[in-house]
Amino acid sequence: MLARVGNYLCGDGQPLLLIAGPCVLQTRELAMEIGETLAQINERPDVNVVFKASFDKANRTSLAAKRGPGIDAGLRLLEAVGADSGLPVTTDIHLPEQAAPAAEVCELLQIPAFLARQTDLLVAAANTGRAVNVKKGQFMAPTDMRYAIDKLRGSFPVSDTISNPVEDDEPVPGKVLVCERGTFFGYGRLVNDMQSIPIMRSLGAPVVFDATHSVQQPGGLGGATGGNREMVEPLARAAVAIGCDALFFETHPQPETSPSDGANMIYLDQFAGLVDRLLRLRETVEGL
């Protein structure tokens, strides 16, 4: 089971796919700094890094919360980071009309968890021919992600569909990733059902574990979303051990200055060390 993301392959026997970045785009300097650190990590042969940042936080808790630079400025900045760092880039889209412009810049399009069932958004993303990473809704069972996968597979361009058939036992890589990012578990709390990782893999798509958002505490901080950074690495270790194909982290040189998710992010200067531990763990897991 494989998926192709730009020039990378993700899945069985492939390097870990690492999706990382600063949550939302802020300054050009910040994006470049993070892109540079990630490009250094990407020199390892056992990892393939994709730079991720949002141009718009479309579901902030409060109207007054900062949202990002918007799609035009955001995509220009992502393009610049990609050119500078040499990394493929990804971003999340919220409306069908955002798919095509985002696909001009991004090798991978991300569908937010709340929107995982919005048919038009999935169709628009697949129509671009780019790889798509769908986050499992906090309100969905892992087996229900088969429907998101089917919507995408039925909507890639014909030339792609030929080379990305639905059958799971085909050696031809697909273009769909699915992502575990936590499931509703009582008001204001998420739980990671680690069984979702092998269950979603059995649907025929490589699985991303979103370690950063899994430790969110929705509504936990009044008008903002809280979090618990200390649990990011423990959960990522568990996800690697149970067989995830990709990891997602938010990282920032100064998380406390980020407009969102600051409580969950990994300090940029600690990120390479974290990745190194997880790759050593993955090497053992692959050999079991």
**Residue ranges binding a second copy (CB under 8 A):** 58-63, 67, 94-96, 114-115, 117-120, 123, 137-144, 147, 150-151, 154-155, 183-189, 191-195, 197-198, 218-219, 223, 231, 234-235, 237-243, 277, 280-281, 283-285, 287-288
Which residues contact residue 102 at a Cβ distance below 8 angstroms, ignoring those fewer than 6 apart? Answer: 71, 75, 91, 93, 109, 128
Sequence-ordered list of residues with C-beta below 8 angstroms from that of 270, at least 6 positions apart, any chain:
none
Cα(249)–Cα(33) distance, rounded to whole angstroms? Answer: 16
User: CA torsion, points 148, 14, 33, 58, in degrees to nearest 10?
Assistant: 0
In which residue are the tokens 């090497």 written? 283
Which tokens belong to 163? 């080379």
Minimum separation from the CB atom of position 191 to a second copy (A): 5
**Cβ distance to a second copy smaller for residue 30 or 208:** 208
Q: How far is the CB of 108 from a second copy (least distance, A)?
A: 21
Least Å distance, CB 171 to a second copy, is: 24
Closest to a second copy by CB, 56 or 107: 56
Please count the residues of the chain. 288
Cβ at position 90, least distance to a second copy in Å = 20
Which residue number, 31 or 278, has a Cβ lying nearer to a second copy?
278
Both tokens of 153, joined, read 């597979």
User: Closest distance between a second copy and the C-beta of residue 263, in Å?
Assistant: 15
Instruction: State the DSSP string of 215-246.
Output: G-EEEEETTEEE--GGGHHHHHHHHHHHT-SE
Closer residue to a second copy in complex, CB, 84/228: 228
What are the φ/ψ torsions at residue 165 (nearest 5 degrees)? -65, 165
Beta bridge partners of 92: 110
- Comparing CB distances to a second copy, the nearer of 83 and 191 is 191
Amino acid at 46: D
Of 34 and 215, nearer to a second copy (C-beta) is: 215
Q: How far is the CB of 88 from a second copy (least distance, A)?
A: 27
